[in-house]
């Protein structure tokens, strides 16, 4: 379908196999658009992400990524990718995976403040309408102050402390994602 941000070394996966999206991957983007589904670029290589963003009739999103400006992890997005998400109307949902948030990050060493620093950075770079919150609790997400859904209020408290208002917080906590879902449905054939 498309090249991965993290090829499996244990399976001898090549660094790049398709030059981004394969022919099947291009067909998949078109079919996702046709049926009203979103194109998620999480886990893809930069080249795959950029091609998907350019092909999709509906804005693409990353449901669970962090930012290379904070940690040069292969799963994280760089500023150019953030700009493309903004330009196509997409969304990046910052994930709570400690090792994505900080180099060597662990549950005990990453805080709510570290997490909201990435939200702030993305909001300042591409606008609040292109940023969201993602836990990935079932995929290794969680850190001090946000280990499960019962602690979601800690993020909201930090957002309020940093000056975010009700509308912005609503967009971050799902409003932007819902906008993309509606748009995908509207553009479906």
- Each domain of the chain, given as residue ranges in start order, spans 40-46+59-187
Q: Which CATH number fits domain 40-46+59-187: 1.10.510.10, 3.20.20.140, 3.40.50.2000, 3.60.10.10?
A: 3.20.20.140
CA dist., res. 94 & res. 57, Å (int): 23
Quick check: 114 pLDDT over 50? Answer: yes
Quick check: 184 pLDDT over 90? Answer: yes
CA dist., res. 126 & res. 115, Å (int): 17
**Number of C-beta neighbours around residue 28 at 10 A:** 18
pLDDT band per the 50, 70, 90 thresholds, residue 7: very low
Half-sphere exposure of 84 (CA within 13 A, CB side): 20
Rounded to two decimals, the pTM is: 0.91
Assess contact for 121 and 67: CB atoms under 8 A: yes
pLDDT band per the 50, 70, 90 thresholds, residue 22: confident
Assess contact for 36 and 78: CB atoms under 8 A: no
CA distances from residue 99 to 30, 40, 102, 106 in whole angstroms, order as listed: 33, 21, 6, 6
For residues 81-118, b (16+ Cβ closer than 10 Å) or e, as one string?
Answer: bbebbbebbbbbbbbbbbebbbeebeeeebbbebbbbb
């Amino acid at each position: 379908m498309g090249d991965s941000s993290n090829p499996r070394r244990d399976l001898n996966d090549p660094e790049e196999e398709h030059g981004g999206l394969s022919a099947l991957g291009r067909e998949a983007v078109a079919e996702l658009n046709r049926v009203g589904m979103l194109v998620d670029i999480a886990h893809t290589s930069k080249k795959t992400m950029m091609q998907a963003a350019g092909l999709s009739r509906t804005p693409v999103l990353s449901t669970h990524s962090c930012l290379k400006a904070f940690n040069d992890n292969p799963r994280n997005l760089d500023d150019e990718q953030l700009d493309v998400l903004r330009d196509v109307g997409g969304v990046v949902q910052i994930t709570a995976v400690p090792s994505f948030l900080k180099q060597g990050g662990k549950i005990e060493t990453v805080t709510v403040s570290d997490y909201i620093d990435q939200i702030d950075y993305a909001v300042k770079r591409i606008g609040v309408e292109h940023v969201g919150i993602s836990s990935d609790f079932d995929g290794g997400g969680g850190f001090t102050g946000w280990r499960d859904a019962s602690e979601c209020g800690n993020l909201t408290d930090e957002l309020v402390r940093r000056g975010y208002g009700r509308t912005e917080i609503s967009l971050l906590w799902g409003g932007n994602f819902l906008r993309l879902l509606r748009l995908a449905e509207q553009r479906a054939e």
